[in-house]
Chain A
Amino acid sequence: MLGASHRPSSTPSEPSSNALCQSRGPARDWSSDVSPLPHRWQRTAGCTTRGNLGRMPVEIDIAKVAKLARLALSAEELAGYGSQLEDILEHAERVGGLPTAGVLPTSHPLPMTNAFRPDAVRPSLDREEVLEQAPHREGAFFRVPRILEES
Chain B
Amino acid sequence: MTDLADLSVIAAGRGLRRRDFTARDLTDATITRAAVTESHLHAYLTLDQDKARAAAQVADEAFALGEDHGPLQGIPIAVKDNMTTRGMETTAGSKILAGYVPPYDATVVERLQSQQAVVMGKTNLDEYAMGSSTENSAFGPTRNPWDTDRVPGGSSGGSAAAVAVGSALGALGSDTGGSIRQPASLCGLVGVKPTYGVVSRYGLIAFASSLDQIGPFARTVADAATLLEAVAGFDIRDATSYRGETPDISSLLDAGVAGMRIGIVKELSRDGIDPQVAAACTQMYNALADAGAKVTEVSLPASEYALSAYYLIAPAEASANLARFDGVRYGLRVDGETTEEMMARTRAEGFGPEVIRRILLGTYALSAGYYDAFYGQAQKVRTLVRNDFAAAYENVDVLVSPTSPTTAFAIGERTEDPLSMYYADVCTIASNLAGDPSGSVPVGLDDSGLPIGFQVMAPALHEAQLFRVAAEVERLAGFEARPALATSEVIPA
Contact = CB atoms under 8 A, between A and B. Distances in A.
A134 B308 CA distance: 38
A2 B384 contact: yes
B384 A98 contact: yes
B341 interface: yes
A70 to B, nearest CB: 5
Contacts of B359: 69, 71
B356 A31 contact: no
Interface stretch (B118-126, B135-143, B216-224, B325-333): B325-333
Given A31-B267, A69-B363, A134-B329, A92 B308 contact: yes
Nearest to A104: B383
A93 B374 contact: yes
Interface string A108-119: 111010010100
Given A37-B267, A37-B272, A98-B381, A87 B419 contact: yes
Contacts of B271: 36-39
A70 B390 contact: no
A97 B305 contact: yes
A115 B243 contact: yes
Contacts of A87: 418-419
Interface stretch (B56-64, B234-242, B280-288): B234-242
B418 A147 contact: no
A3 interface: yes
Contact of A6 (B196, B304, B309, B387): B387
B331 to A, nearest CB: 7
Contact of B386 (A67, A109, A144): A109
A41 B423 contact: yes
Interface stretch (B17-25, B343-351, B440-448): B343-351
A116 B336 CA distance: 40
A108 B336 CA distance: 38
Nearest to A134: B329
A70 B240 contact: no
B338 interface: yes
B309 A95 contact: yes
Of A29, A36, A62, A144, the most chain B CB neighbours within 10 A belong to A144
Contact of A3 (B341, B380, B387): B387
A91 B308 contact: yes
A56 B312 CA distance: 15
B272 A39 contact: yes
Interface in A32-64: 34, 36-41, 53, 56, 60, 62
B305 A95 contact: yes
Interface in A89-142: 89, 91-98, 100, 103-110, 112, 115, 117, 125-126, 129-130, 132-136, 142
Contact of B373 (A60, A70, A96): A96
Contacts of B332: 135
B61 to A, nearest CB: 27
A38 B307 CA distance: 12
A71 B360 contact: yes
B330 A72 contact: no
B360 A37 contact: no
B305 A98 contact: yes
A102 B166 CA distance: 51
Contacts of B378: 92, 95
Interface stretch (B75-83, B96-104, B107-115, B289-297): B96-104
Contacts of B367: 65, 68
Contact of A41 (B239, B243, B379, B420): B420
A141 B276 CA distance: 59
A4 B370 CA distance: 31
A145 B344 CA distance: 13
Contact of A136 (B299, B326, B333, B386): B333
Given A3-B386, A39-B272, A145-B336, A91 B104 contact: no
A41 B338 contact: no
A140 B391 CA distance: 56
Nearest to B343: A70
A71 B347 CA distance: 6
A151 interface: no
Given A2-B387, A3-B388, A109-B435, 18 more contacts: A1-B391, A3-B390, A4-B391, A5-B390, A27-B301, A29-B299, A36-B271, A41-B419, A88-B419, A92-B374, A98-B305, A106-B382, A109-B433, A115-B243, A134-B330, A135-B330, A135-B331, A144-B339
Leading 5 A-B pairs by shortest Cβ distance = A109-B435, A3-B387, A105-B379, A135-B333, A72-B344
14 contacts: A27-B301, A34-B304, A41-B419, A41-B423, A56-B370, A85-B357, A95-B312, A96-B373, A98-B384, A105-B382, A109-B435, A110-B242, A133-B103, A133-B329
Interface of A: 1-8, 27-31, 34, 36-41, 53, 56, 60, 62, 65-73, 77, 81, 84-85, 87-89, 91-98, 100, 103-110, 112, 115, 117, 125-126, 129-130, 132-136, 142, 144-147, 149
